[in-house]
Structure 1
């Protein structure tokens, strides 16, 4: 199964290194020397990591198939995917692959079934669960322990601690303003 692990950024230096916009919690594992990734372009291309290093908080990768800066510049903005075994799990037991969460039933802390996880949205500040409610609408719930206190992949559900307006936007509390 292919999973997205990064996006190629701008070229770095003259020898074909590129910056990587990391999209995995395991960059040192996915971009280790000898690792293979594929691009999601119209013409799929296989790239082998020759070397990787962190520089000023940014992951730089040299691919064996990219000899120089000119070749590196042609790869900019390509999304990189890695082959991951269907049974593979992240090393940290508190982490999950998106594919493990999509399709899980969503329950509230009082046990009410409210919908299903249809996607995981990755933002710079935090990840969000995209949930299709049984009422038909879609809501986004921040994937933080206070709001998602339990994830049980084996039993196929997540628990959401509902707050006013979280699962039902129409149920949000209205704060009066002092406008005259």
Structure 2
């Protein structure tokens, strides 16, 4: 499918409603976690799943969390840059390219949800804790989940787009060979 829209064709910006939903759901769940959970005290939900309020001044997997504060502005700048790039990509993307548009808006919603936390609180609020036995996956939130799902979808789009292009090239080659035989 064409990744670039033609002049006058509707853009994928219509999918920004999903970004708004992700940001709202993320911020609401973080506020609920702040109001209902005690910092660092796990609330078991399932044998492998707890709700645990934690603050992350770093990025994914607490990357750079131990630094002296400069990382807040570093990750803020990255989130702003990525958000601008994603909105531009959505503007250029044809509306009917739903899979890629959903992937991009999920990533954008997650980036904006965590950006809000960084700007307002100086850290990201995490509260979802998954574990198996004594091994714990780093705590995360709805924004992180949206970014992860969107990134997986984006990766799948890259793989399937390459396959579609290869199939289209093979079909064009076969058609040109068939017309040459007539």
TM-score past 0.5 threshold: no
Larger relative contact order (Cα-Cα within 8 Å, sequence gap ≥ 6): 2
- Identify the TM-score tier after normalising by the shorter chain: under 0.3
Q: TM-score, normalised by structure 2?
A: 0.20
The structure with the greater share of residues assigned to strand is 1
- Greater share of residues in helix: 2
